[in-house]
A and B are shown apart, each in its own frame.
Chain A
Amino acid sequence: MMDLHLTCRRGARDLSRSRCLSFIFLLWLCLFAVSPDTADAQDVLVYADYPPMMMGEDAEADRLGFSVDIVREAAKRLGRNVTVQFYPFRRAIKTVQHADDAIQVSMFRNPTREPHYRWLAKTHTEEMVFLTLGTPVNSLEEGRKLESIGVENGSGLDNFLTKAGFTNLERVDRADINAAKLHAGRIDAWALAKSNAMWVWRNAGFDAPLVAGEPLATADVYVATGLGFPADVAEAYAAEIRKMVENGEIDAFIARYIETAPQ
């Protein structure tokens, strides 16, 4: 359906007004001729750049991240057709908040986001750690003693550490920048989700072993939609995902990316 709409907008430039109106009329007939419960129903799976959960804009079509794969598998089992759409993270979660057909494949819950989304199901739990190239930093107290800690600007971890009274934070917009800064010794530690940090570090091609401290906090990862998303469809997705979590199928999707992570 989205393809038809786009075709119409492009074609309208060449069509005369009457032809365009005729086309819109035919489109209207098509819309009302097809039941909304049929397999033509479309859901948009919105993802961002947070590997390995979401592999970013330049990922291959069959490796968009395990969170994308999990939801896409759930949709497949539900018999719903889906498309995927990449957005920068802030646009991604804002788009899902305002759209009625979009599903955010993975998102952390926090008080700010809580009332604006329908949280379908938890897929897994991420561990927030300080990453270093030598001695592990295992607590917040140890972290405060460091000279500088790299975080992503505006991320959940940024907010967490700021509230915890950290004043030694160096904020950048992308995780790979912090990886490079850590590799170059410009920061003492790098605060990030463990799986994400490992994927970014390996993807950046650094050979030095990345040491992860004890978890500072954990964060459950959820599949979420906007409040306008159809409730019955949301519940169907949630049930299917919960079933995948319960029977351990989720692990297989995650393992596919961990095991194939760059060395």
Chain B
Amino acid sequence: MSASGENSLVDVRCREAARPRTLSLTRKQSLAAVATAVVIGFCFAVFQIYYDARGVEHDLERTAGKIAQVVSTTASQAAYRLDTELANAVVESLVQNENILAASIADDFGDTLAAATRQTSPDTPLIARLFIGHQPQTLSQPLLHSDVPSGSVGALYLELSPASAGQSFVNRAYVLLIGGVIKSIILSLCLLLVFDRLVTRRVLSLRKIISDKTFLSRNVTKPRFPDELDELEQVTIRSFMGLHDALDSVRLSDAALNATTCGVIITDASRDNVIVSANQAFLDISGYPAHEVIGENCRFMSAGLEDQEGLEKVRAALAGDTFCDVTIRNRRKDGSIFWNNLQITPIRDERGTVTHHVGIQSDVTERMNYQLSLQSLKDELQAIFNSTPDGIITVDETLKIRTVNPAITEMLGWHPEELIGAPLNTLTLDDFGLDHKEMKAEHTGDASAMPKRMAEYRVVKALHKDGTQIPAGVTLSRFVHSGHPVVVASIHDMTEWFDNSERLIKLTTTLSDQLRTAEAANEAKDRFLSAMSHELRTPLNAIIGFSEMLTSLTPEALPPEKRQEYLKDILQSGRDLLKMIDEVLDLTLIAQGGAELKPERASLTEILSDVLSRCRQIIEERQIDVRVIGNTNINLVIDRLATRSVLVNLLTNAIKYSGDSKVVTVICRTEQDKITLDVEDWGPGISDFVINRLGEPFLRDQDPLIASIEGVGLGLAIAKNQVERLGGQLTLTRKLEGGTIATVVINQADDPAPAPAH
């Protein structure tokens, strides 16, 4: 320790021990003994001089007191008589004495009767000034007289001269001083000689034994008459053998302390824990040189950083003499701050009293910064984990749930403590579990070889705590933790997505329908305009043309039969126009909900008769053979007008499109509570275009042959709408052999009694 003390462990005591022994013990003893003797002799001489000086002062006071006593009677008489001449005589005689510098007599009225001062005053020697002082002393002697009631007639004042006794005192002082020193020196030399013979030589011999290692290994012969020094020699040899061993151990410990990178300091518990020792590592860590830390409390390293929880632990440990291990922030000499891992251990003596504290310090700044950044990252990830709206769980290789984020609780109602450690199928249905079983099988292989992304996004059914199933989108990924695979499942609640999808589909469908309706309406409008432009113009042109001819031609130029023919044409055109307008109005009325239906009891026979009657004109004009087949003797409760309208339109259409066959068949049949009426013709047959768009107004077949047949395309539309109003259904069927069947199915109401036959 001592050899490398300045570079390693700083220890003041070791430095003391390292001082070379250059002085001989005898010489030191001689010097010390003589010096001690001189000092002691000098001190005793000074004490004697001091004591003599006190005696001189007292002698001076006693002498002056005696003198004052001698003259007091005379002085009292002078004071009593207020006799200034007598008083002057007294004081003049007093100042003749060498001990008295001045004398005065004052009366009892406070007036000075006489005063005298000696003219010459000898100088006080320096030594006398030191011990006696040079300030004159004052002595007062009261003057009494029995004839005065108060007894006092004044006072005698004497001023004593210390210099009077100075010279004799100085002479005595020199004798005492020199004599005392000489006596002390002679005595010390004698004692020194004796001490050298009896002690010094043997102690020097002992020192040789101590300093010579080889001598320690020799056997020392015991003297015949051992004394205390012989015992001391034996004990010293044994002690130093142990001490050498201990010193070797200390050197090893010192080397270990210097070799360590940890800062080590030792503080003195009895002196506010000031640092008494510090190793080089501590100096390197703190940046302070040794002389600035030895003798200082470690608080200087926490300047400006006192508000730390760790410091409270340190203070508590120091106050309670307990061990502590804390990490605190300290300040280097250059002001920079570093993290210090500090371990404080109390050192106790054999009585258990804590005498020192050992502080072991490590600069853990890098580690702390890493931990802090790691903690920050962890906090950030935890915040993400906690705040993400998707549920996240981790699953170990045994399909046990390891981690659950709060979104799972919000999504599925399970609390984390209910899920952690629970099997995965707590959260999933069987099909989801099967998937993971497959995944588990994959995990039995090499974990490091597993793909990071375990599966594609899939929609599964998650199990809510209340037992309900929730559609959830799951994405799986994995990582390896401590050599074991961990699967991360990100679960997204798809309920809203599905709800939205369904609503979107419905909305799309609705929009498509509306679009189709709008397109149909637009198309119907176009068709209406097209049809109307033709169907309206034709009768109107006929009416206008014939009317112009009738008005422009004179009766002479137009024969009566021609006139009659023209008038019939005008009438027919007007009827056609009226009929067309009625149909349009009917359709409009039906599209707007139509007139209120008025069900009434009616016979199908009557209804068919009424229909045939209404269609008689066209049947006759076209010479169509209308055949009614089946049982028409059926009573039903139905709106007669609406039923008639349906059948009139269907029959009219069948007649118009019957082509060359000239046959139209109406087939009646009942099935349970329904009545089915088929209106069948043998014409060219209706096209799919019309079948698929049945009910649309102004719809005309694209077949030129059919399109050439007169009509505005309202008959089927009116029929379909009326059938639907009656709660029935209208379908069109094109026959393979040609022709079209219009089938009306309506509910048969109560009262199945047979209708009267026609």
Query: Is A91 within 8 A of B149, CB to CB?
Result: no
| Shortest distance between the CB of A83 and any CB in chain B (Å) | 10
B-side interface mostly: loop
CA distance A90 to B109 in the complex (A): 12
Among B78-86, B159-167, B551-559, the stretch in contact with A: B78-86
Query: Is B147 within 8 A of A90, CB to CB?
Result: no
CA distance A90 to B83 in the complex (A): 8
Q: Say whether, besides A6-B149, A86-B147, A98-B109, A91 and B82 are in contact (CB < 8 Å).
A: yes
Query: Is A88 within 8 A of B149, CB to CB?
Result: no
Q: Which residue of B lies closest to A87 (CB)?
A: B147
CB of A94 closer than 8 Å to a CB of B? yes
Number of A-B contacts (CB under 8 A): 24
CA distance A85 to B80 in the complex (A): 14
A86 partner residues in chain B, CB cutoff 8 A: 147
| Shortest distance between the CB of B136 and any CB in chain A (Å) | 31
Q: Which residue of A lies closest to B113 (CB)?
A: A90
CA distance A85 to B148 in the complex (A): 9
CA distance A80 to B109 in the complex (A): 28
Q: Mark B133-153, 1 if CB is under 8 A from A, else 0.
A: 000000000000001110001
Q: Which residue of A lies closest to B111 (CB)?
A: A94
A88 partner residues in chain B, CB cutoff 8 A: 80-83
CB of A153 closer than 8 Å to a CB of B? yes
Q: Which residue of A lies closest to B85 (CB)?
A: A153
* CB < 8 Å neighbour of B80 from A2, A91, A98, A173: A91
| Shortest distance between the CB of A158 and any CB in chain B (Å) | 13
Q: Which residue of A lies closest to B107 (CB)?
A: A94
* CB < 8 Å neighbour of A94 from B83, B109, B149: B109
CA distance A6 to B149 in the complex (A): 8
Query: Is B149 within 8 A of A2, CB to CB?
Result: yes
Q: Mark B90-114, 1 if CB is under 8 A from A, else 0.
A: 0000000000000000010100000
A87 partner residues in chain B, CB cutoff 8 A: 147-148
Query: Is A91 within 8 A of B85, CB to CB?
Result: no
A90 partner residues in chain B, CB cutoff 8 A: 81-83
Q: Mark A1-41, 1 if CB is under 8 A from B, else 0.
A: 01000100000000000000000000000000000000000
CA distance A2 to B80 in the complex (A): 20
B80 partner residues in chain A, CB cutoff 8 A: 88, 91
A2 partner residues in chain B, CB cutoff 8 A: 149
The size class of the interface chain A forms with chain B is: 10 to 19
B147 partner residues in chain A, CB cutoff 8 A: 86-87
> Which residues of chain A from 99 to 142 have a CB within 8 Å of any chain B CB?
none
Q: Which residue of B lies closest to A171 (CB)?
A: B85
A98 partner residues in chain B, CB cutoff 8 A: 109
Query: Is A94 within 8 A of B85, CB to CB?
Result: no
> Which residues of chain B from 446 to 504 have a CB within 8 Å of any chain A CB?
none
A6 partner residues in chain B, CB cutoff 8 A: 149
CA distance A160 to B356 in the complex (A): 101
| Shortest distance between the CB of A21 and any CB in chain B (Å) | 22
A153 partner residues in chain B, CB cutoff 8 A: 85
B82 partner residues in chain A, CB cutoff 8 A: 88, 90-91, 94
Interface size on B, residues (CB 8 A): 11
CA distance A109 to B82 in the complex (A): 20
Of residues B80, B82, B85, B107, which shows the largest number of chain A Cβ atoms within 10 Å of its Cβ?
B82
| Shortest distance between the CB of B516 and any CB in chain A (Å) | 138
CA distance A53 to B147 in the complex (A): 21
| Shortest distance between the CB of B334 and any CB in chain A (Å) | 78
Q: Which residue of B lies closest to A173 (CB)?
A: B83
| Shortest distance between the CB of A164 and any CB in chain B (Å) | 22
| Shortest distance between the CB of B150 and any CB in chain A (Å) | 10
B149 partner residues in chain A, CB cutoff 8 A: 2, 6, 85
| Shortest distance between the CB of A177 and any CB in chain B (Å) | 14
Q: Which residue of A lies closest to B145 (CB)?
A: A91
CA distance A2 to B149 in the complex (A): 9
CA distance A151 to B80 in the complex (A): 22
B107 partner residues in chain A, CB cutoff 8 A: 94
> Which residues of chain B from 558 to 615 have a CB within 8 Å of any chain A CB?
none
| Shortest distance between the CB of B105 and any CB in chain A (Å) | 14
CA distance A85 to B153 in the complex (A): 15
CA distance A88 to B81 in the complex (A): 5
> Which residues of chain A from 60 to 106 have a CB within 8 Å of any chain B CB?
85-88, 90-91, 94, 98
B81 partner residues in chain A, CB cutoff 8 A: 88, 90-91
CA distance A98 to B82 in the complex (A): 14
Of residues A2, A88, A91, which shows the largest number of chain B Cβ atoms within 10 Å of its Cβ?
A91
A94 partner residues in chain B, CB cutoff 8 A: 82, 107, 109
Q: Which residue of B lies closest to A92 (CB)?
A: B82
CA distance A98 to B109 in the complex (A): 8
| Shortest distance between the CB of B82 and any CB in chain A (Å) | 4
> Which residues of chain B from 238 to 286 have a CB within 8 Å of any chain A CB?
none
Q: Which residue of B lies closest to A86 (CB)?
A: B147
| Shortest distance between the CB of B81 and any CB in chain A (Å) | 4
CA distance A98 to B83 in the complex (A): 18
> Which residues of chain B from 402 to 452 have a CB within 8 Å of any chain A CB?
none
| Shortest distance between the CB of A225 and any CB in chain B (Å) | 16
| Shortest distance between the CB of B308 and any CB in chain A (Å) | 70
CA distance A88 to B85 in the complex (A): 15
Q: Which residue of B lies closest to A57 (CB)?
A: B147
Q: Which residue of A lies closest to B110 (CB)?
A: A98
| Shortest distance between the CB of B145 and any CB in chain A (Å) | 9
CA distance A98 to B111 in the complex (A): 12
CA distance A173 to B80 in the complex (A): 14
CA distance A91 to B109 in the complex (A): 10
CA distance A251 to B153 in the complex (A): 37
CA distance A91 to B150 in the complex (A): 13
CA distance A85 to B83 in the complex (A): 19
CA distance A87 to B85 in the complex (A): 18
CA distance A88 to B83 in the complex (A): 10
A173 partner residues in chain B, CB cutoff 8 A: 83
CA distance A88 to B82 in the complex (A): 8
| Shortest distance between the CB of A26 and any CB in chain B (Å) | 22
| Shortest distance between the CB of B754 and any CB in chain A (Å) | 161
Of residues A2, A88, A98, which shows the largest number of chain B Cβ atoms within 10 Å of its Cβ?
A88
Q: Which residue of A lies closest to B150 (CB)?
A: A9
A85 partner residues in chain B, CB cutoff 8 A: 149
Q: Which residue of A lies closest to B153 (CB)?
A: A91
Q: Which residue of B lies closest to A153 (CB)?
A: B85
> Which residues of chain B from 146 to 198 have a CB within 8 Å of any chain A CB?
147-149, 153
| Shortest distance between the CB of B261 and any CB in chain A (Å) | 84
CA distance A113 to B158 in the complex (A): 32
| Shortest distance between the CB of A237 and any CB in chain B (Å) | 22
Q: Which residue of A lies closest to B81 (CB)?
A: A88
| Shortest distance between the CB of B743 and any CB in chain A (Å) | 155
| Shortest distance between the CB of A107 and any CB in chain B (Å) | 15
B148 partner residues in chain A, CB cutoff 8 A: 87, 91
CA distance A230 to B81 in the complex (A): 27
| Shortest distance between the CB of B583 and any CB in chain A (Å) | 154
| Shortest distance between the CB of B107 and any CB in chain A (Å) | 8
CA distance A153 to B153 in the complex (A): 21
> Which residues of chain A from 142 to 156 have a CB within 8 Å of any chain B CB?
153
CA distance A94 to B147 in the complex (A): 15
Q: Which residue of A lies closest to B79 (CB)?
A: A91
B83 partner residues in chain A, CB cutoff 8 A: 88, 90, 173
CA distance A173 to B78 in the complex (A): 12
| Shortest distance between the CB of B538 and any CB in chain A (Å) | 164
Q: Which residue of B lies closest to A98 (CB)?
A: B109
Residues of B within 8 A of A (CB): 80-83, 85, 107, 109, 147-149, 153
Besides A85-B149, A91-B153, A153-B85, 5 new A-B residue pairs in contact (Cβ under 8 A), listed by A number: A6-B149, A88-B81, A90-B83, A91-B148, A98-B109
Cross-chain pairs A/B with CB under 8 angstroms, 19 sampled? A2-B149, A6-B149, A85-B149, A86-B147, A87-B147, A87-B148, A88-B80, A88-B81, A88-B82, A88-B83, A90-B82, A91-B81, A91-B82, A91-B148, A91-B153, A94-B82, A94-B107, A153-B85, A173-B83
The 10 closest A-B pairs by CB, nearest first: A90-B82, A88-B81, A91-B82, A98-B109, A94-B109, A94-B82, A91-B80, A90-B81, A91-B81, A88-B80
